[in-house]
């Protein structure tokens, strides 16, 4: 690193050095009780050491004292970093170790209304930086709800059991609360930090206020736990291949083996549904189920292995019921029923699936059947991003694919059925998901596609071959976060 060293100005017990970073005014101060040695400070760009999921609010500050042996560690030094620009997110001062590459958190107190944070240290030399995590909000608004009738709160950022100090910025009153629920939904309330139990809210404001401006100070964090870590510049995922693209122009934001061809499992179903809808069906048309529909599935798997709708030969239901069952519940027999009632020969239907994706530019994609049960149905994250971009031009597919749960009754037997979406990210209400499909085969691993709405334009996120169902969601969620951060730059 190219460091520029400067002597600090001695002001009582404080050394002060002002170091602007681009347009941000940032500075570092030391309060050194019982220690009168002057310090030296240097600054450098944080670009090579900042992890992808944090924002740097300062340069890297390197400091040392000329006579460290005169320092008494019984009196910790206070480090104060002024970040100079309003920031409403969780902040942490870290010590950076060049040799190991690790960032170690210091116990940090943020004072966002005055734009600085403090920490204590006994290290007489080292490197410091202040980072902000822009998916954890600490300054904004709070409302109230009537639930457990105690000093509790709901948070979308801090896990259950975390303890937060919530301060009303209008009057300075505060209350310490324990997180016992998830919420509020950031997609609906982007500036809402927490929702307070009515009892807790009354400690700092009148119920009639409704919504107040607050800040939170974490006193105990259960999740996420901020620990020592090595900065990673890009997402680290278990998926064998993945991609993030901007829907508007198809530009790739990030990729990993994105052109690797592999089985795509039930992600196949979106293309089958698109071909079916191109036949312009009447959604409320009543059709009969035939056992042959599920027999096609058993060419590729055992009866107990196929996700299916539990209906019997001759049961009647609407085309709309089949569509929701096929996408929300990923029912393989429902897809075959739609192929049968489409009016197209089954081979012609599959050929149309192949032709339409080729016409979109997905030249490495090929289908031999419409459900995704065959490992010979192949694509790549690159191709599938192209496919998703075209498929979601159909608003009905967008609506169905993001429906958490769908219920219906077979018309002749009056038997009730409920199918639940297999994408659990839809249930978190944390991300503005406007398109989704999961998939799994032994040969494919776990696959997932999500389409995310952002103020800067929609994103499409695809991962193939994640090691487990949990890994698939974790991989996709990490890619969503990365894509959202990059789209704001």
The tens digit of pLDDT for each residue in 104-122 reads 999 999 999 999 999 999 9
Q: Which of 84, 116, 134 marks a domain boundary? A: 134
Report the CATH number that the domain containing residue 267 is assigned in CATH: 3.40.710.10
Full pLDDT tens readout for the chain, 489 residues: 333 333 333 322 333 333 333 334 688 888 888 888 877 888 887 755 688 999 999 999 999 999 899 999 999 999 999 998 999 999 999 999 988 889 999 999 999 999 999 999 999 999 999 999 988 999 999 999 998 899 999 999 999 999 999 999 999 999 999 999 998 988 788 899 999 999 999 999 999 999 999 999 999 988 767 788 888 889 999 999 999 999 999 999 999 999 999 999 999 999 999 999 999 999 999 999 999 999 999 999 988 888 999 999 999 999 999 999 999 999 999 999 999 999 999 999 999 999 999 999 999 999 999 999 999 999 999 999 999 999 999 999 999 999 999 999 999 999 999 999 999 998 876 788 999 999 999 999 999 999 999 988 999 999 999 999 999 999 999 999 999 988 877
Q: Which of 96, 115, 134 marks a domain boundary? A: 134
| Residue at 77 is within a domain | yes
Note the pTM of the prediction, 2 decimals.
Answer: 0.83
Residues 314, 291 contacting (CB under 8 angstroms):
no
Residue 47 has what pLDDT?
Answer: 56
Q: Measured between alpha carbons, how far is 157 from 224 in angstroms, rounded to an integer? A: 8
**Same-domain check for residues 195 and 255:** no
**Same-domain check for residues 258 and 303:** yes
| Residue at 387 is within a domain | yes
**Same-domain check for residues 202 and 83:** no
Q: Measured between alpha carbons, how far is 66 from 268 in angstroms, rounded to an integer? A: 66
**Same-domain check for residues 169 and 294:** no
| Residue at 268 is within a domain | yes
**Same-domain check for residues 281 and 408:** yes
Domain count, the chain: 3
Q: Which of 110, 134, 158 marks a domain boundary? A: 134
**Same-domain check for residues 321 and 304:** yes
**Same-domain check for residues 120 and 193:** no
| Residue at 233 is within a domain | no
Report the CATH number that the domain containing residue 175 is assigned in CATH: 2.40.40.10
**Same-domain check for residues 267 and 197:** no
> Roughly what angle, to the nearest 10 degrees, separates helices 332-341 and 346-360?
100
| Residue at 232 is within a domain | no
**E strand or H helix at 278:** none
Peptide bond connecting 37 to the previous residue in cis, omega within 30 degrees of 0: no
Report the CATH number that the domain containing residue 36 is assigned in CATH: 2.60.220
Domain region containing 58:
4-134
| Residue at 229 is within a domain | no
| Residue at 226 is within a domain | no
Residues 442, 417 contacting (CB under 8 angstroms):
no
**Same-domain check for residues 122 and 145:** no
| Residue at 231 is within a domain | no
Q: Which residues contact 358 (CB under 8 A, 6 or more apart)?
A: 365
**Same-domain check for residues 341 and 469:** yes
User: Three-state DSSP class for 419?
Assistant: strand
């Amino acid at each position: 690193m190219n460091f520029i060293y400067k002597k600090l100005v001695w002001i009582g017990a404080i050394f002060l050095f002002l170091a602007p970073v681009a347009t941000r005014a940032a500075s570092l101060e030391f309060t050194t009780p019982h220690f009168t040695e002057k310090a030296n400070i240097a600054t450098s760009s944080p670009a090579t050491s900042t992890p992808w999921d944090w924002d740097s609010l300062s340069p890297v500050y390197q400091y040392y004292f000329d006579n460290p042996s005169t320092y008494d560690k019984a009196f910790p030094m206070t480090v104060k970093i002024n970040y100079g620009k309003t920031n409403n997110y969780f902040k942490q001062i870290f010590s950076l170790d060049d040799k190991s590459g690790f960032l170690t958190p210091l116990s940090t107190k943020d004072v966002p209304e005055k734009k600085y944070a403090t920490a204590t240290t006994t290290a007489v030399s080292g490197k410091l930086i202040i980072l902000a995590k822009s998916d954890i909000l600490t300054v904004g608004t709070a409302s109230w709800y009537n639930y457990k009738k105690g000093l509790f709160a709901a948070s979308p950022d801090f896990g259950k059991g975390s303890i937060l100090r919530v301060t009303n910025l209008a009057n300075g009153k505060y209350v310490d609360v324990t997180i016992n629920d998830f919420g509020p939904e950031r997609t609906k309330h982007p500036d809402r930090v927490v929702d307070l139990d009515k009892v807790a809210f009354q400690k700092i404001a009148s119920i009639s206020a409704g919504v107040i401006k607050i800040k939170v100070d974490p006193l105990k964090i259960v999740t996420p736990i901020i620990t020592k870590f090595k900065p990673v510049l890009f997402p680290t995922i278990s998926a064998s291949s993945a991609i993030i693209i901007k829907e508007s122009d198809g530009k790739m934001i990030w990729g990993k083996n994105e052109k690797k061809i592999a089985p795509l499992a039930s992600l196949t179903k979106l293309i089958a549904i698109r071909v079916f809808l191109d036949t312009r069906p009447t959604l409320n048309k009543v059709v009969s189920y035939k056992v042959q529909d599920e027999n096609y599935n058993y060419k590729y798997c055992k009866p107990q292995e196929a996700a299916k709708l539990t209906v019997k030969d001759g049961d009647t239901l609407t085309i709309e019921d089949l569509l929701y069952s096929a996408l929300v519940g990923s029912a393989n027999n429902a897809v075959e029923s739609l192929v049968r009632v489409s009016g197209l020969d089954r081979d012609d239907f599959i050929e149309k699936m192949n032709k339409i994706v080729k016409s979109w530019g997905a030249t490495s994609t090929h289908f031999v059947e419409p459900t995704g049960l065959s490992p010979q149905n192949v694509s790549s994250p690159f191709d599938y991003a192209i496919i998703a971009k075209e498929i979601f031009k159909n608003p009905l597919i967008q609506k169905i694919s993001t429906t958490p749960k769908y219920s219906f009754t077979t018309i002749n037997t009056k038997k009730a059925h409920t199918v639940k979406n297999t994408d659990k990210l839809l249930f978190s209400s944390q991300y503005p998901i406007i398109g989704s499909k999961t998939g799994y085969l032994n040969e494919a691993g776990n696959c997932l596609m999500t389409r995310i709405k952002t103020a800067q334009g929609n994103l499409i996120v695809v991962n193939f071959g994640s090691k487990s169902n949990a890994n698939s969601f974790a991989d996709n969620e990490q890619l969503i976060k990365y894509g959202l951060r990059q789209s704001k730059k």
